Amino acid sequence: MALLFSAKFEDVERWRNALAAELGDMDFRLWTPDGANIGDPADIEFVLAWGPKKGAFKELPNLKAIFCLGAGVDHLIGRDLPKGVPVVRLVDPGLTRGMREYVIYWTLHYHRRFKEYADSTAAGVWKQLPQADTRKRRVGILGLGVLGADAAAHLRALEFDVAGWSRSAKALDGIESFHGADGLPAFLARTEILVNLLPLTPETTDIINAETLNQLPKGAFVINAARGPHVVDDDLIAAIDGGHIAAATLDVFHAEPLPAEHPFWTHPKINITPHAASLTVPETAVVAIADNIRRIRAGDPPFPIVDPESGY
């Protein structure tokens, strides 16, 4: 029985070694676009993939689970997934840690006005700025799942005033919880630094648009570390150029790599990173994957399974 690996990253060997360390007996086959290394399709029990071609799963009659190589499954959903085969989302402590660092870094960047200090340094100017009270800085996180809840808890530990928005109501220590479409306006109205950690679904596409940006207080900051299509690019640029939004940090884009001619590249109030807010760490990710493979082999369901209805 074999595991088929469809790489998102260059370092296949790192994955092969990490998986071998956890599941020594696993026959690891590489899913290249020409399908040359697949061997007998009937051998394949598990697929570890980011976004294989539409219909690619059809020829795998004994598939028991599809493991997504990332936390977001939007690349997999809609690829003619075989019915009854669970798609397992990645929950990786290394990925969670990376996202926590990214969110804290950019929140502090805006909160502590480090861009203004960088500009002063460049101009050779010695100028202290008033220091805002962290306890009064209202950070709002769209999405209170694995990554959002973790970032919220760590921002809270730094004494930020943190709220989150999700589909279902949450009871998280020290975090104000808003939920559903009805809860969104109040959540936005209190949010000075908006962090997006939602999955990309039909409901969340374009969620950061002229209307929602306008509901943030004047001078708010936006950090998008989830998916590019959450943002209406022109609306964000207009909100920044119009002075309502102070600045934005974007890690993800409609097209990746971000096309050279896109105005985000040169906008003075937009920071961009190349979909690197947090990268899957094979050595930590394989622990959960191997655990799930053992569960399936023991007849238990893997966790967490993507709900095809909600799309995450």
Q: Give the active site residues.
A: 227, 275
136: CB partners within 8 A, 6+ apart: 161
Give, as ranges, the residues between 265 and 294 that touch ligand OXD (CB under 6 A): 280
What minimum distance in Å lies between the beta carbon of 130 and ligand NDP?
A: 32
Spatial distance between the Cα atoms of 47 and 59, rounded to a whole number of angstroms: 12
33: CB partners within 8 A, 6+ apart: 53
Is residue 76 within 8 Å of residue 87, measured between CB atoms? yes
What minimum distance in Å lies between the beta carbon of 173 and ligand OXD?
A: 26
# binding residues, ligand NDP (CB under 6 A): 31
Q: For residue 116, how many other CB atoms are within 10 A of its CB? A: 11
Does residue 6 interact with ligand NDP by CB under 6 A? no
Residue nearer to ligand OXD on the CB measure, 70 or 86: 70
What minimum distance in Å lies between the beta carbon of 57 and ligand NDP?
A: 21
Does residue 6 interact with ligand OXD by CB under 6 A? no
Binding residue (CB under 6 A) for ligand OXD from 3, 45, 49, 72: 72
Give, as ranges, the residues between 130 and 149 that touch ligand NDP (CB under 6 A): 143-148
What minimum distance in Å lies between the beta carbon of 71 and ligand OXD?
A: 4
Specify the stretch interacting with ligand OXD by CB under 6 A; choose among 13-21, 69-77, 184-192, 261-269.
69-77
Structure tokens at 310: 């909600």
Distance set, CA 183 to CA 51, 141, 167, 177 (Å): 33, 13, 9, 9
Residue nearer to ligand NDP on the CB measure, 110 or 187: 187
Spatial distance between the Cα atoms of 226 and 200, rounded to a whole number of angstroms: 8
- Nearest-10 Cα torsion for 283, 15, 19, 37: 170
**Partner from ligand OXD, ligand NDP, none contacting 245, C-beta within 5 to 8 A by type:** none
Binding residue (CB under 6 A) for ligand OXD from 3, 18, 60, 70: 70
Is residue 270 within 8 Å of residue 248, measured between CB atoms? yes
Number of residues written out for the chain: 312
Site for ligand OXD, rule CB under 6 A: 70-72, 95, 280
